[in-house]
Amino acid sequence: MSGFRLFDLNPEQFRAATHPDGPMLILAGAGTGKTRVLTARIAWLVSQGVDPASILAVTFTNKAAKEMRERVAGSVNSEQAKLITLSTFHALCVRMLRKHAHLLGYKENFSIFDESDQIGLVKKLAARIHDKQDPVDPKLARAIISKAKNLGMSEPETTDTALGSLFSKYQNELRTLNAMDFDDLLLQARTLLRDHPEAREDWRSRYRHVMVDEFQDTNALQLELVSLLTGDDRPNICVVGDDDQSIYGWRGAEAANLLEFECHFPDPEVIKLEQNYRSTDVILSVANRLILNNSRRRGKRLWSERKEGDPVRILSAADDKTEAEFIADEIQASGPNSSKARPWTDFAILYRMNAQSRQFEEVLRERRIPYRVVGGKSFFDRREVKDVVAYLGALLNPDDDNALLRVLANPPRGIGSTTLQLANEAGAKNGKSLLAILNEPEHLDVSSSKTRSAIQRFTEDWGAYRIQLQTPGVDAASILRCILEECGYFEDLKKGCKSEQEADNRQENVRELLNALGGYCQRHPREGARGFLDGLMLEQEREEEKEEDRSGVTLITLHAAKGLEFPEVWLVGAEDGLLPHERSKAEGTIEEERRLLYVGITRARHRLTITHCSTRQKYGSVSSCGPSPFLLELIGDGVDSGSMEGILAEPMSEEETLDAFARMKAMLNG
C-alpha cells in the first residue's frame, strides 16, 4: 500500500478521504483533485478494515472507471484491488440483470441494443404501422423513447398517438428479441431493485460503502437506483460533484440531485474542495466572476497557489474566417517549428457546435498544422466491426433477429429479402424468433427449391457453430475466425472495397477485434464471449479513427471537453445565439449555458483566449452576430479585450482596453 499517502492531501481532501460513515457530499470544483480524493478514500477504508468487496464506486464513463482502477491498484495490494467494484452505472446494471434476468421475464443471455440497433428496430416497426403520408423520423422517435426511459416513464409524453403506439410495440419487440436497449439497463435494474426484495437485499448486502462520481450528471432514474441500492437508514453513501459543471440537462441530467442532496440523504457531511491544481489564479478569478451570475448554485470559489499568469484575452474578429486564420497563425507562431517549440498538443480550440470546426479544419490544413477532431468516427461504428459483433451477438442470443439479419446479409446466403420478410411476419404471428422460423420450414411458404436449400444449409451450419461456441473452454476468437472464413465473409468484404488498401484496413479491423476477443476471454474465462460483448455495447467513449489518433491541435466541443485540460485554450464563437445558444432563451436554460462557458474556461491551464465575430457563415449565408452577453460578466481584473486586427498591429494600452469594453457594452445594450 505504498501509494496510499494521506499526508499528500490538503485539509479538505483529508476530511473527505477519512470521513468514517454516514452520507457525505463532496462539492469538488474543477481541477480540485476529486479522483485523488475518491482513490484515497477507498484506500483509507481498506486500511480501516473495511472488506474491499463491500466497496462500490460508480462513474459515468469507462475512461473514468479505468483511471480510478489504476490509481486504486497503486494504493492497496493487488488482491484487495481486485475485490473492489469500480463500474459505470450501465455496467453495474448489466451485472444485476444478468444474475436476476429471470425475475423480469428475460433470459440471462439477453442482447444489448446500441443506438444504431435501436434506430433499425424503430425503422422496421414504423414501416409496419405507418403509411407514407405520416412518416416517422426514426432518430427523433428513438430520442423521445430514450428520454422517456431516462425519466423513468412507462411511455413518452406526446400527443402523437402513433408515436405512443410505436413505443409500446418497440418495447414488446425488444422483449420478443430477448433484448434491452441502453436505457432499459437502468430502467429494468430500477424495476428489479424496487419490485423484488430478494434481489434488492442481495445487492444491498454486498455493498456497505457506495460512492458516486459526477453526481450532478445523474438523472432521476440513477438517483432512484442509488437510493434503492443504499437503503433508508443513514447509508454510507459518498457522492462527488459540482453543480457549476452541470451541462447535460438536455439529456436528462438533474443538477437538483446534487443541489437537494439533503432531501434524499438527510444530515450529510458537506465538504467543499476549492483549491484548484490546474489553472492560474487569473483564469480562476474570471471563471468565478462568471458563475456568480447563476442564482441556483452551492457557493464555492476556486483559487490557486499559481498567482502569476497571462491575462485572459477577449478578442473580436470581423468574421469567422478571420477568427480561424488569426488563431492558426498564433498557434503556428508558438508551435514545434517556432522559437517557443511547443508541441501541437498544447493547443485546444473549443466551440459550442460541431459545425464550427469546419472553418478551423480548412485553415489548419492550409497551414499544414496537424489536428484531431475529438468525437470522430468510432472504431466500433465501422461496418466490418458491426458485422462481426452481429455474428457474436446472434450466436450468443438466438432470439436477436436484428443481429441475425445482419449475418444473413454479410455475406448474402441466397435467402432473399422477400423470404426474410415472410419469415419476420411468421415470427410475429407465431411469437417466435427469426432463427426459430428458419428452423421450422412449415411456417414458410417458399416455392423455390434453391431458397429452401439455402435456408437448410444456413440453419445446419449455424446450429453447429452455436454448439461449438458454447463448448466449455473453447477459444471463442478462433471459432469466430473460422466461421467468418468458412462462410466467405472476408471475400465478400473485399468485394465491397474500392482499393486494396481499404480491403487491408477493413480486414485488419476484423483481426484487431478478434484479437481483443481472444485476449478478453483469456483474462476473463468466466465471463467469456458474453462478457466481451457486454463490454463493447456498454462502451460510451469509443475510440476515434486511427487516422485521428495522432498528436495535433485538439478541436472539440465544450460538452466533450469536460474533464479535460490543455495548456492553452481558444474558446471561440462567444456570440449571442451561439453561446448562449438561441434555444436556451425559449427553454429557460441560460444558467446551463453559463455553466458550459464556465467549463470551457476552466479547461485552460496557462493561457485562455475567448473570441467572437461580427459576422459568421450560417446555413450558406452571412449572418450578423452580437457578442455573447456572458462577456460583460467576465470583464474585470485579469481580462484584456480588443480586436484581432489590433493585436496584429501592437498590444493595446489600458485606455484602449477600457474603450474596447465600452464598445462591447454598447453593442450588447443594442
How does DSSP assign 8-32, residue by residue?
A: GS-HHHHHHHT--SS-EEEEE-TTS
User: What's the burial of 501, exposed, middle or buried (CB within 10 Å: 0-12/13-18/19+)?
Assistant: exposed
Grid-cell match 478541436, residue found: 555
Residue 350 CB neighbour total at 10 angstroms: 29
245 included as an active-site residue = yes
What distance in Å separates the CA atoms of residue 604 and residue 601, rounded to the nearest whole number? Answer: 6
603 included as an active-site residue = yes
Backbone dihedral region for residue 93 (phi beyond 0: left; psi -120 to 50: alpha; all else: beta): alpha
Instruction: Give the three cell numbers for residue 4.
Output: 496510499
Of 142, 200, 413, 603, the catalytic one is 603
CA distances from 16 to 34, 40, 236, 240, 374 (A): 10, 9, 13, 10, 34
- List the alpha helices (DSSP H) in 565-643: 582-587, 590-601, 630-634
How does DSSP assign 605-660, residue by residue?
A: EEEEEEEEEEEEEETTEEEE--B-THHHHH-STTEEEEEHHHHHH-PPPHHHHHHH
CA distances from 127 to 122, 137, 176, 178, 415 (A): 8, 11, 18, 21, 21
Instruction: Give the three cell numbers for residue 358.
Output: 469546419
Residue 552 CB neighbour total at 10 angstroms: 16
**Dihedral angle, C-alpha 89, 90, 91, 92, nearest 10 °:** 50
Of 218, 245, 419, 609, the catalytic one is 245
What distance in Å separates the CA atoms of residue 560 and residue 563, rounded to the nearest whole number? Answer: 8
Closest CA to 101 of 187, 226, 168, 189: 189
540 included as an active-site residue = no
Contact 227, 264 (CB under 8 A): yes
Helix axes 401-409, 383-396, angle to 10 degrees: 130
Contact 631, 286 (CB under 8 A): no
306 included as an active-site residue = no
Backbone dihedral region for residue 353 (phi beyond 0: left; psi -120 to 50: alpha; all else: beta): beta
Of 181, 214, 325, 346, the catalytic one is 214
234 contacts: CB under 8 Å, gap ≥ 6: 22, 23, 266, 267
Backbone dihedral region for residue 641 (phi beyond 0: left; psi -120 to 50: alpha; all else: beta): beta
Three-state secondary-structure class, residue 581: strand
Of 32, 34, 88, 142, the catalytic one is 34
Closest CA to 541 of 31, 32, 185, 65: 65
Question: Do strands 604-618 and 566-571 pair parallel, antiparallel, or not at all (unpaired)?
Answer: parallel
112 beta partners: 180
214 included as an active-site residue = yes
What distance in Å separates the CA atoms of residue 114 and residue 378, rounded to the nearest whole number? Answer: 13
Strand order in 85-88's β-sheet? 85-88, 55-59, 209-212, 237-241, 24-28, 269-273
Of 18, 35, 171, 191, the catalytic one is 35
Contact 575, 612 (CB under 8 A): yes
Instruction: Give the three cell numbers for residue 241.
Output: 460533484
Encoded amino acid at 422, one letter: L
Closest CA to 603 of 651, 559, 569: 569
34 included as an active-site residue = yes
What distance in Å separates the CA atoms of residue 428 and residue 320, rounded to the nearest whole number? Answer: 54
- Strand blocks (E) in 60-150: 85-88, 111-113
Evaluate the omega torsion of the peptide bond into residue 629 and state whether it is cis, within 30 degrees of 0. no
Half-sphere exposure of 45 (CA within 13 A, CB side): 30
Of 12, 114, 181, 213, the catalytic one is 213
Residues acting as catalytic residues: 34-35, 213-214, 245, 603
